[in-house]
Amino acid sequence: MAPSSSPPRVRFDRFELDLDTGELWREGMPVALPPQPSRILVAEAGTLVERSELRQRIWGDSWLDWEAALHQAIRSIRVALDDSATAPRFVETLARRGYRFIAPIDAGLPSEPTSAALKPAPAVPSGSPTVVDWLLWRRTNATGRRALFAGLTLTALVVLPALFQLRTDARGVVEMGSIAPAANEALVAPEALRLYREGLHLLGRGAVAEASLRFRQAADLAPDWSAPWSAIAEVELAGPGGQGVDRARVSIERALARDANDAHAWRILGSLRMWEEWDWVGARGALDHAARVGPDNADVWQLVAALETVLGRETEALVAARRAMALDPISTGRRVDLGWTLYYLGRGEQALAECRRGLELEPESPWARQCVVQASLLLGRRHEASAVIAGAAEVAGVEPVAAYFQRQLDLLADGKSCGSSAAAAIPKIVLGDPEGALDALLRGAIERRGWEVPFARVDPLFAGLREEPRFAQVERALAMPVARR
């Protein structure tokens, strides 16, 4: 962290860096980069920062693969700054010792970004959740929120119509995908175990506040037990607008402090790094650890599938999605998740088959229906998409597919959905407004909010947009390798 006496923002070359949040701008546009090492190097410009010091200040002693993570972080900084390791203008490497920031800086800039476009968008008010809310769920940006475990910043869980944990049953009741059975239950006080299980039951019925209370009561009775804190974190992350993100961070910290091998907690860490910070390297590290300590946790493998999907790693994504389904074979949601993975990888027929089966098993599932609709459109079978939608979004005189996606836009416009700015991209592209879809993705990239942004690089609906010059701004914001198709 920068010393408390340091100015909050500094300028160097064409860049401006907020030392409090780690946010970087290049000529008024946001640039994604690893916040912790960037802040340390810039705050101590001109001074050699030892590799061992970076390790302690970012990862501590517990991170086993810190050298690879540090190498990737420095590489990401150079990519963001368009810098060279052999002829550096910003970050100089001192072999086997450390790094030094060598560019001159101007300190003491105003606290607000220079571009008005970068001011945070007003929060979307949330009312009673609707089916489309679960399709368009979003997380607010948490760039610069306090670090967990000496720099392992977290990203927030996103609920989207595939690859994630919030589900609704046939009655529309929200269900957490699977808060895993608590480890070492035999060692837990019976009353604490009863309260924990009661919390899971209440959560399955959609009684979120009551469930959270039971989990906290269980944590009070069993202060050394990690499971209640993991469950509390998951509940807090399910709230609208990312309002519980900071509280969830504390809960994750408490869970892992009690059990460093809590796979559920590591999974949440991975999902938060992915969808809040867009830290793909950090997410992989957390999920790799989650898979090592919880190899039979289907939720972990489904999230691995999501990460591999957005990175364009087809084989790895399918292996992970199928492993999740093999571990949880009776779950309708897993089948639909596999369908979505196949859809994003362009395998329309297979995706349609899996999602149709999921919709047959759970006819009121909104993400199964959306998957069938989009897979049908991918295959050019608009009439099949219309048949699935019939009754779900009927408007007199309006073609069913158009009515279905227009309703999603109307809910966003009316503030009745929790969707981010990027949530408008899918309905706009289906409704024949590619420029509007690209505008929505760019707003999401600036806000660093919305699952649609990373998935746009692999979603077949956006194949044409990816050739547009402005789509390169989305790619730069994500700071991912080019997707393999």
Q: Distance between CA atoms of 137 and 165, rounded to whole angstroms?
A: 12
How many degrees, rounded to 5, is the angle at CA 171 between CA 167 and CA 176?
Answer: 25
Q: Distance between CA atoms of 238 and 221, rounded to whole angstroms?
A: 24
Is residue 5 a contact partner of residue 17, using CB atoms and an 8 Å limit? no
Q: Distance between CA atoms of 264 and 286, rounded to whole angstroms?
A: 11
| pLDDT of 39 | 76
Q: Distance between CA atoms of 60 and 375, rounded to whole angstroms?
A: 45
Is residue 424 a contact partner of residue 433, using CB atoms and an 8 Å limit? no
Mean pLDDT for all residues in the chain: 76
Measuring CA to CA, which residue among 422, 413, 414, 356 is closest to residue 388?
A: 356
Q: Distance between CA atoms of 246 and 265, rounded to whole angstroms?
A: 15
Q: At what angle do helices 280-293 and 298-310 cross, to 10 degrees?
A: 150
Q: What is the pLDDT of residues 209-254, one digit of tens each?
A: 899 999 999 999 999 999 999 999 888 877 665 677 778 888 888 9
Q: Distance between CA atoms of 226 and 252, rounded to whole angstroms?
A: 9
Per-residue pLDDT tens listing for the chain (485 residues): 334 445 577 889 888 888 876 777 777 666 766 666 787 888 888 889 998 888 777 666 644 556 766 777 788 788 888 888 888 999 999 988 899 999 998 876 554 444 333 333 333 333 323 322 323 322 222 222 222 222 322 222 223 333 333 333 332 333 333 444 444 555 788 899 889 988 887 877 778 889 999 999 999 999 999 999 999 988 887 766 567 777 888 888 899 999 999 999 999 888 888 887 788 988 899 899 999 999 999 999 999 999 999 999 999 999 999 999 888 877 788 889 999 999 999 999 999 999 998 888 888 888 899 999 999 999 999 999 999 886 555 555 678 899 999 988 988 888 755 567 899 999 999 999 999 999 999 999 988 888 899 999 999 999 999 999 999 999 999 988 554 44
Neighbours of 428 (CB within 10 A): 21
Q: Distance between CA atoms of 21 and 146, rounded to whole angstroms?
A: 8
Using CB atoms within 10 Å of the CB of residue 122, give its burial: 0 to 12 exposed, 13 to 18 middle, 19+ buried. exposed
Q: What is the pLDDT of residues 431-445, one digit of tens each?
A: 999 999 999 999 999
State whether residue 100 is helix, strand or coil: strand
Residue 366 CA neighbour count, 13 Å, CB half: 24
